[in-house]
Amino acid sequence: MTSSFIAIDWGTTNRRSYRIESGAVADTWRDDKGVLAMVGGDWAGEVAAIRARHGDLPVLIAGMAGSNRGWREAAYVDCPASLDSLAAAIAWIEPRRTGIVPGVAQRAPDPDVMRGEEVQLLGAVAAGLVPADALLCQPGTHCKWAEMRGGALAGFATAMTGEIFALLKGHSLLAPQLAGAVADGAPFRDGVRRAARGDLTTALFGVRAATLLGQRSEAESAAYASGLLIGSDVAARAVEGAPVHILADPALGGLYAAAVDTLGGRSHLVDSHAAFVAGITALMERIS
């Protein structure tokens, strides 16, 4: 198909659009008109406005716009998922002109779903940013861990790491102690090591107990608690000596890298925007 097109990463709370020319980003725009802001909204009108900005080009949308709360539901593709299986299952609003990339479902052993992350994951392999057989991690509100095999998405797990930290910080007994800054350092890594011993919900109560007993300052508690949650997430999947490829912004990616390294893994940071652009371009190339 055409080598110029518009890609939209349409998430729950934000969206980012790109004009892509021959695989490179020519123009990009980001705002907060995510799916939640679009409830009852004019999806076709929004896409027309994006075309007015980026040009009258084919549009390929990834993310929650394809969920049952989005524009049109794009049925999940099963694991193992590839660029080919995703491209074949694009939900077309208008054939070859406006389409929505499906999400991916894992039905066993543990049920799991993703929407949007699959483009980054498969794109990272397609662009040669990660090997075809690799463990990938996408930190965030819901952290995705993906097992790539032969370049396909073989299986994955979603941890509610970021959301649980936000719940604890916003609404729990620990809230007053979680107001401090979170950065890599000794308290964060102490949390990571404690998390590797398991029993997360008890370790979290220990955040409060340690300050009551004068064993840790209030100022260090947020970093320690973040270490507990991220460490719990990493310890469940990272293998000593094995690489973990982390797709994230530098701040959150850096915390995950520190946790991986603390527990004996080998962290590699990957440019997640480059991975998305590579993935969505590879999908566009498959539309004949």
Residue 227 binding a second copy, by CB under 8 A = no
Q: Which of residues 162-181 bind a second copy (CB under 8 A)?
A: 163-164, 167-168, 170-173
Residue 233 binding a second copy, by CB under 8 A = yes
Between 45 and 84, how does the x/- string for binding to a second copy read (CB under 8 A)? -------------------------------x--------
Judged by CB under 8 A, which stretch of 29-37, 109-117, 183-191, 263-271 contacts a second copy? Answer: 109-117
Residue whose token pair is 């539901």: 73
Between 191 and 210, how does the x/- string for binding to a second copy read (CB under 8 A)? ---x---xxxxxxxxx-xxx
Judged by CB under 8 A, which stretch of 19-27, 117-125, 232-240, 250-258 contacts a second copy? Answer: 232-240
Task: Select 54 or 216, whichever has its Cβ closest to a second copy.
Answer: 216
Between 124 and 153, how does the x/- string for binding to a second copy read (CB under 8 A)? ------------------x-----------
Q: Which of 215, 240, 241, 250 binds a second copy (CB under 8 A)?
A: 215
Residue 40 binding a second copy, by CB under 8 A = no
Residue whose token pair is 């997640």: 272
Q: Which of 57, 93, 196, 236 binds a second copy (CB under 8 A)?
A: 236
Q: Give exposure, 119-151, as e/b (b: 16+ Cβ within 10 Å).
A: bbbbbbbbbebbeeebbbbbbbeebbbbbbeeb
| CB of 25 closer than 8 Å to CB of 277 | yes
Q: Give the C-alpha separation, 93 to 198, whole Å.
A: 47
- For strands 4-10 and 15-21, give the pairing: antiparallel
Q: Give the C-alpha separation, 224 to 58, whole Å.
A: 47
Among 106, 122, 103, 123, residue whose Cα is nearest residue 114:
103
Site residues, a second copy (CB under 8 A)? 76, 105-107, 110-113, 142, 157-161, 163-164, 167-168, 170-173, 194, 198-206, 208-210, 212-213, 215, 229, 232-233, 236
